[in-house]
Structure 1
Amino acid sequence: MKMGCRRFFHGSKGFLFYPRESFLSPLPRCSSHEATAVLASTSPKKTTASDTSFCIQNPYPFRNFQMGFSNSSCSSKNPDFSVESADEGSIIRSKQMAEDVETVCRILTRDPHLSSYTCFLDQSGVNITSELVSNVLKRLSNAGKLALHFFRWAEKQPNFKHSSESYHSLIDSLGKIKQFKLIWEIVNVMRDRGLLQKETFALISRRYVRAKNIREATLTFDRMRDFGLTADVSDFNSFLDTLSKSKNVKTAQEIFSDLKHRFSIDLKTYTILLEGWGSVLNLKKMTEVYKEMINDGFEPDTVTYGILIKGFARCRKLDEAEKLFQEMMSRKLKPSPHIYCTLINGLGSEKRLSDASKYFEMFKASGSPLDVPTCNAMIGSYCWAHKFEDAYKMVSEMREFGVGANARTFEVIIHHLVKAKRIEEARRVFRTMQEEAGCEPELNTYTIVVRMFCSEGRINEALQVWRMMAGKGIIPSMHMYSVIISGLQRIGRLEDASFYFQEMIERGLRPPARLYGDLKQALVDIGKGELAMQLGTKLEMLRTTPLMG
């Protein structure tokens, strides 16, 4: 590709899609011959567009700012810097691992009914290791039932033993579908096998908090002692952090007051509470905690200032945030990249583009290496101002100066394009994202694009993106199922909506009550009350029948 030529957009012939039955239909019981055929179809392939691509030849001149890199720093001519051969083996192993994970996930997600996946896994030829199992379980974080089935299959493989990490991934998945009875059975197994860690209890507490069961979360923290583990201040901080980040900072503050005598409270304890009050936009309480921190003899550091600045920025008190920045500088504390990101994001969201640019320039002049999050913050600022051409140009410059864009880069642009109703442009950027190395769309990006098409009434395109995602072995979340089901319902495709509702239940995901209520009423209105009743029965079984370990 020529310098200055950016292959950013592609033609408008559409995405490369897979037929519905290829990924969503149940698989039959398989013979060895059939398994071989299916496994061939599940081998990861690079998705490419079949249409002709074209380059944007920099239609707007680059501004005078530079990204702070010297091209010579990346030169392969440096005789003292040669890592190609040393890294080659790890690159190959990493690529093989990614392919194996995708192969396993594609096999598992082909059959929502879980009727025939084992024979395909047995004949997949994939080398089952702790790393592979942990990575697959992380990919199945939104499908607790499926994660449990894969976990069981893996532990039956010759010479394989689960690690603490794989147990934790399973617990996280099961916690999302509120299978806490089974989780405690798993805890007992981990104890018997010597794999239990304090992190296990932190994870369970986090899932109880997300399930809005604060009492059980607190009891879980205390139960560490029953399993021979002693909590220290880092565990206490972790628990307070879990509460604070789930909008339960008031409870966290109460527990802090009740239990602070048991631990040697440190600066991090206070910064957690500061961040919690800032996240719920309560500057008064945040200021009170800050004063208490000072009275207890703790001096604010860079992290503390970063949290205070973020709290004021969230409340749109950006002038106060900038004053804190200046105060920090006067104390000879060097701002972290995160602080610059916070100010750039805050100012950009208020359409103060010139001010956001000022802090970006200050960051480049600070001597810190330019990083992707800070560039993404500046790209977001351009998008808030609807200066998408400048955002695209910055993506090009990131490539040119050795700072590669990531999935979040494109997600930011797509999000703002959707908000601006520039649907076709968002569609093209999404296509480009799929072909950019290291920018493979993630679940959140797919959700944004599916929601975009559903809101525009372009349900067939939403379903095509859905199937593309399924082809990658990515499991939809409950929120994404809600989007597609509601979209289908709005245009009267109630049988299709029922299909996805049933699939969601079979994967162990509990739908919001309103989602079922709306679908049920719509089915009853067209004389399909029996179908509504069948879905209700399955939903009730999901709610009342615990999974068995």
Structure 2
Amino acid sequence: MVSTFLIALIAVELLACLLAWLLGWIDGWLVYLGRPGFASWGACGPKRQLARHAVADVETHQEVDQAADAQVSVLRSLAAEGRADDAEDALYEIIDAGIKPRAAHFAAIISSCAPSKDTERAERWLFRMRALEVGADPSVYHALMRVAAEAGNSAAAEQWMNEAWEEGFQPDRQSFEHLLRSLRTAGDTVNVEMWFERLMEMQVPPDMAMVNEVIGIFADQDRMDKAAEWMEIAQNGLGLAPDAETYKLVITAHARSGHLEEAEMLFEQMLSQGIRPPASVYALLTGDGRSRRSKHTVQKWCSRFQL
């Protein structure tokens, strides 16, 4: 009886030691992994402690997201001002701080190349983004297309649209607007209409900004018949109302060609639609002192501008 009792007692002690060692081993791994150890559970219980830790993780992720959003906002501000060098320096500081940039960071950097029309610089940043194994999102492709549009490189704009499509990002309004802009900058009147038809076939609802790119390319070339045709398409075919930019484009073309009556008629139409003409339109109708404007015409438009 005594020997049996001693054996049982020894077995219990060994089991307790084994359990203590196992709990200590688990506790060590929990601490190593950044999780609360058993010592921190206290009277609150393990479930509550783990719940608190999960909340802390969420708060940390939220702080990281907020910091990333703030960084992207700064980069976008620099990009909007065309300060590509400053934007790059800011991104390098982010990387030096041990923070892995996201696609939005690179989209902002690439956009900063648009004012200078520096497509090579934009593509270098795309290469660096991929080297860091950061996946592209629609904002990156939009930025690349914007740079191509400003440079008038319609082939590059089409390339980025197709590549985005292959990545699973369907072409949207912004994509087509950049593509149409690139065609306008390049003066490609043939393909601009073809691509507009394609976006309609793809059931991408156009807006007036997209139609303005088509009107603009014809107005830039003083092809007023085609500009008028697309204004008609916008109003009666697409149900879109011409905006201030639309009128500015066609009034500029008429004034440049010396068709003052047509320009004035469009000006009055603009007012009747409740659209306030910008100062640049008044300046066009007033003339530059070298254009053929009578003194009466100049005085008339100067007085209307002052009103």
TM-score, normalisation: structure 2: 0.68
Q: In structure 2, give the amino acid aligned to 1:314.
A: E
Which residue of the partner structure matches residue 202 of structure 1?
Answer: none
Q: Contact 2:149 / 2:185 at 8 angstroms: preserved in 1?
A: no
Taking the TM superposition and a 5 Å limit, the aligned residue runs for 1:408-447 are 408-435=245-272, 437-447=273-283
Over residues 248-272 of structure 1, what are the superposed CA-to-partner deviations in whole Å (9 max), with x where a residue is unaligned? 2111211221244386633221111
Q: For each residue in 1:382-401, what CA deviation from the matched residue of structure 2 results, as whole angstroms up to 9, or x when unmatched? A: 22343211221222232224
Residue 345 of structure 1 aligns with which residue? Answer: 181
CA contact (8 A) 2:152 2:184 kept: no
Contact 2:255 2:263 in 1 (8 A): yes
- Code of the residue aligned with 1:434 in structure 2: it is L
Counterpart pick for 2:130 among 282, 294, 306? 294
1:228-377 alignment, distance < 5 Å = 232-260=67-95, 261=97, 265-377=101-213
Counterparts of 1:232 and 1:466, CA distance in 2? 51
Q: Quickly say closer, same or farther: Cα 1:316–1:373, change in 2 above 3 A.
A: closer
Give 1:415 shift.
Answer: 2.5
CA RMSD of aligned residues (A): 2.6
Shift in Å at residue 358 of structure 1? 0.9
Q: In the aligned structure 1, how far is the partner of 2:301 from the partner of 2:99?
A: 51
SS of 2:212's partner is helix
Q: Distance in 2 between matches of 1:294 and 1:334?
A: 21
Over 3 Å counting, the alpha-carbon distance change for 1:368 and 1:321 in structure 2 is closer
Q: How big is each residue's C-alpha offset from its partner over 1:334-380, in whole Å with a ceiling of 9 and x where there is no partner?
A: 11212212222322333321100111001111212231111111111
Whether contact under 8 Å (2:78, 2:84) holds in the other structure is: yes
The number of residues matched between the two structures is: 239
Report the counterpart of residue 233 of structure 2 in structure 1.
397
Deviations 1:201-229, CA, capped at 9 Å, x for gaps: xxxxxxxxxxxxxxxxxxxxxxxxxxxxx
1:465 maps to which of 297, 301, 307? 301
User: CA 1:425–1:334 in 2, change beyond 3 Å: closer, same or farther?
Assistant: same
Contact 1:372 1:405 in 2 (8 A): yes
Q: 1:254 to 1:289 in 2, by over 3 A?
A: same
Percent pairwise identity: 15
Deviations 1:55-101 (A, max 9, x none): xxxxxxxxxxxxxxxxxxxxxxxxxxxxxxxxxxxxxxxxxxxxxxx
Any stretches of 5+ residues in structure 2 without a counterpart? 1-65
- Cα deviation for residue 448 of structure 1 reads 4.2
Query: C-alpha separation between the residues in 1 aligned to 2:134 and 2:193?
Result: 34
Q: Distance in 2 between matches of 1:255 and 1:448?
A: 41
Q: What secondary structure is seen at the aligned counterpart in 2 of 1:417?
A: helix
SS at match of 2:112: helix
Q: Distance in 1 between matches of 2:185 and 2:254?
A: 14
Aligned to 2:4: none
Unaligned runs of 5+ in 1: 1-230, 472-549
Q: Is the 8 A contact 1:453 1:462 kept in 2?
A: no
Greater share of residues in helix: 2
- In 2, are the aligned partners of 1:348 and 1:385 still within 8 Å (CA)? no
- Alignment of 1:379 with 2:226, yes or no, is no
1:466-485 aligned at under 5 Å gives the runs 466-471=302-307
Paired AA for residue 246 in structure 1: E
> 1:273: how far off?
0.7
C-alpha distance in structure 2 between counterparts of 1:266 and 1:361, whole Å: 35
Secondary structure class of the residue paired with 1:277: coil
Q: Which amino acid aligns with 2:118?
A: N
SS in 2 for 1:280: coil
State how far apart, in whole Å, the 2-side matches of 1:447 and 1:293 are. Answer: 46
Distance (whole Å) between structure 2 residues aligned to residue 259 and residue 446 of structure 1: 47
Q: Which amino acid aligns with 2:136?
A: P
- SS of 2:136's equivalent? coil
CA 1:345–1:262 in 2, change beyond 3 Å: closer, same or farther? same
Higher RCO by CA contacts (8 Å cutoff, separation 6 or greater) = 1
**Aligned equivalents of 2:120, 2:232: Cα separation in 1:** 43
Q: Alignment partner for residue 243 of structure 2, among 396, 406, 419?
A: 406
- For 2:173, give the aligned amino acid: P
Question: Where do 1:105-116 residues align within 5 Å?
Answer: none
Aligned pairs (5 A) from 1:26-37? none
Q: Distance in 1 between matches of 2:291 and 2:121?
A: 42
Paired letter, 1:364:
M
Conserved? CA contact 1:316–1:346, under 8 Å = yes
Distance 1:284 1:349 in 2: 18
Deviations 1:378-425 (A, max 9, x none): 111222343211221222232224211111111111233344444443
Q: In structure 2, how many angstroms separate the alpha carbons of the residues matched to 1:417 and 1:341?
A: 25
What letter is aligned with 1:239?
V
- Secondary structure of the 2:113 match is helix
- Please say if residues 150 and 185 of structure 2, whose CA atoms lie closer than 8 Å, have aligned partners that are also in contact: no
Distance across 2 between alignment mates of 1:279 and 1:315: 9
TM-score of the two chains, using structure 1 as the length reference: 0.40
